[in-house]
Amino acid sequence: MRTIDWVDGYPLIVDQTALPDDVRFVSLSTVDAVIDAIRRLAVRGAPALGVTGAMGVALAARLGGDIDGAVRRIRAARPTAVNLARGVDRAAVYLPDGFEAVLAEALAIRDAELIASQEMGRRGAVLVNELAGDHIRVLTHCNTGGLATVEYGTALACVRTLHERGQLAEVLVSETRPLLQGARLTTWELGELGIGHRLIADSAGPFLMARGQVDAVVLGADRICANGDVVNKIGSFMHALGAQAAGIPFVVVAPESTVDMEAKSGSDVDIEERDGSEILGFAGRRTAPRGTVGLNPAFDVTPYALITAVVTDARVVRFDQGDRP
Ligand code: MRU
């Protein structure tokens, strides 16, 4: 299933906030609708944000009005995944040539991400098999499947390929508080694919690794910095520390479009801080006492020294052997 596409003159997305209960497609008919979908995570995941950003620019070009303002606002809708700004910039280059040229670039980004997913899946599976053997119990965090890309995914494309090769024993899915991308989205995607999995609380990850119940951690990235630091969903750093303590591989799977050589290290990256209300309650119900103040960074930085390897659509970079992006 394509989770983002251009249909009848508009970007069409699967509304990820409605999953797993409803598979609801939403046509984004205005620039404000594109920005709102990005901000409330109706569309999310680094590669999907890149495609949405580019299609948002195409929509702005088609609708007319303050196109430069629209480009600026789409670009700033979320700060951390480099793919969004990059997708917007790539499409905006074609604005002087008119709507059709901008759309062609947005569709080219969509198609390239799709091919990248398949390539990452293949390369990632070969590496994880080499590092962790033939009967692999993978822990993954957040959602890195077709929903986060266009189809297939990044880390989840690797998991899927391992499954297709008969090398996967099970997937432990970390729930990913506070917005539950693991519990709502990854479980749903794995269920659709018929891949065996169990859901764990985020904080159970390092303990299960220490107990010998995980063979490899495989997850995605929102930005890969020049020194090898990886910015990804909050909680990734904790799993990396757990993997190091347990002596198991920690593998990052992400497309080249997520590599940002201008960010020298994780300290150069703007980490999105979301509304504290997201952690003051659960499933629409307040769980913290009234007056409690929330602090809600949406991403963290895993230092390169904790990472075994980064797999992209073009290369395998073995950090454990001294290689860097
Ligand atoms: O806040 P989100 O859900 O957009 O965060 C997404 C992640 O952190 C993913 O792990 C990352 O984008 C890689 S997705 C292929």
Residue with token string 């070969």: 126
Assess whether 289 and 209 both reside in one domain. yes
| 284 pLDDT tier (thresholds 50, 70, 90) | confident
C-alpha of residue 95 to centroid of ligand 1, in Å: 28
142 lines ligand 1 (CB under 6 A): yes
Distances (CA, A) of 152 to 4, 8, 105, 189, 250: 12, 24, 21, 10, 21
Looking at the fold, whether 136 and 253 belong to one and the same domain comes out as: yes
Query: Would residue 222 show up in a list of annotated catalytic residues for this protein?
Result: yes
User: Which atom number of ligand 1 is nearest to the Cα of residue 179?
Assistant: 3
What is the share, in percent, of the chain residues with pLDDT greater than 70?
Answer: 100
From ligand 1's centre to the CA of 149, what distance in Å?
A: 9
Domain match, 171 and 208 both: yes
d(CA 317, CA 320): 9
pLDDT of residue 35: 98
Distance CA 31, CA 177 (A): 29
- Closest to 113 in 3D by CA, of 253, 232, 255: 255
From residue 199, how far is each of 186, 293, 306 by CA, in Å? 9, 28, 24
The mean pLDDT value of the chain amounts to: 97
The CATH number of the domain where 153 resides is what? 3.40.50.10470
As a whole number of angstroms, the distance between CA 216 and CA 159 comes to 11
Domain final residue pick, 113, 130, 160: 113
Residue 3 has pLDDT above 90, yes or no: no
Do residues 77 and 175 both lie within one domain?
A: no
Regarding the beta carbon of 154 and ligand 1, being less than 6 Å apart is answered yes
Distances (CA, A) of 16 to 31, 86, 183, 211: 19, 22, 12, 34
187 CA distance to ligand 1 middle (Å)? 15
Q: Does 215 lie in the same domain as 125?
A: yes
Using a 6 Å cutoff on CB, does residue 222 contact ligand 1? yes
For residue 61, what is the domain's CATH number?
A: 1.20.120.420
Both tokens of 56, joined, read 């948002």
* Structure confidence at residue 180 (pLDDT): 97
Are 82 and 160 contained in the same domain? Answer: no
Specify whether 104 is located in the same domain as 172. no
Do 91 and 172 have their domain in common? no
Place of tokens 């991403």: 299
Cβ distance 38 to 84 under 8 Å?
A: yes
What distance in angstroms lies between residue 161's CA and the mean position of ligand 1's atoms?
A: 20
Q: For 168-199, write each residue's pLDDT tens digit.
A: 999 999 999 999 999 999 999 999 999 999 99
- Output the CA angle 19-113-256, nearest 5 degrees: 115
Q: Does the pLDDT at position 74 exceed 80?
A: yes
Do both 66 and 139 map to the same domain? no
Question: In this structure, are residues 241 and 206 in contact, taking their beta carbons and an 8 Å threshold?
Answer: yes
CA distance readout (Å), 153 to 1, 46, 141, 145, 182: 11, 10, 13, 4, 14
Give me the number of domains the chain comprises.
2
Same domain assignment for residues 77 and 125: no
Tell me, yes or no, whether 248 and 314 share the same domain. Answer: yes
- Is beta strand 223-225 parallel, antiparallel or unpaired with respect to 230-233? antiparallel
Residue 204 and residue 23: Cα distance in Å, rounded?
A: 29
Ligand 1 mutation target, pool 83, 222, 272, most atoms within 8 A of CB: 222
113, 141, 160: which is the final residue of a domain? 113
Residue 73: band (very low, low, confident or very high) from pLDDT cuts 50, 70, 90? very high
What is the mean predicted confidence (pLDDT) over 141-162? 97
The residue assigned the tokens 């495609």 is: 51
- Give yes or no: residues 56 and 160 share one domain: no
Catalytic residue among 5, 202, 222, 229: 222
Task: Give the model's pLDDT for residue 233.
Answer: 98
* pLDDT of residue 255 exceeding 90: yes
Residue 234 pLDDT level (bands cut at 50, 70, 90):
very high
| C-beta of 156 in contact with ligand 1 (< 6 A) | no
**Ligand 1 atom closest to residue 299's alpha carbon, by position in its atom list:** 8
Residues of the domain holding 235:
121-321
Ligand 1 centre and the CA of 320: distance in Å? 24
Last residue of a domain, one of 69, 89, 113: 113
Q: Is 178 in the pocket of ligand 1 (CB under 6 A)?
A: no
The amino acid occupying position 142 is C
Q: What is the CA radius of gyration of the chain?
A: 19
Query: Residue for token digits 């201008």?
Result: 262
User: How far is 303 from 291, CA to CA, in rounded Å?
Assistant: 35
Checking if the pLDDT of 1 tops 90, the result is no
The band of 2, judged by pLDDT with boundaries at 50, 70 and 90, is confident
Residues 140 and 218 sit within 8 Å (Cβ to Cβ): yes
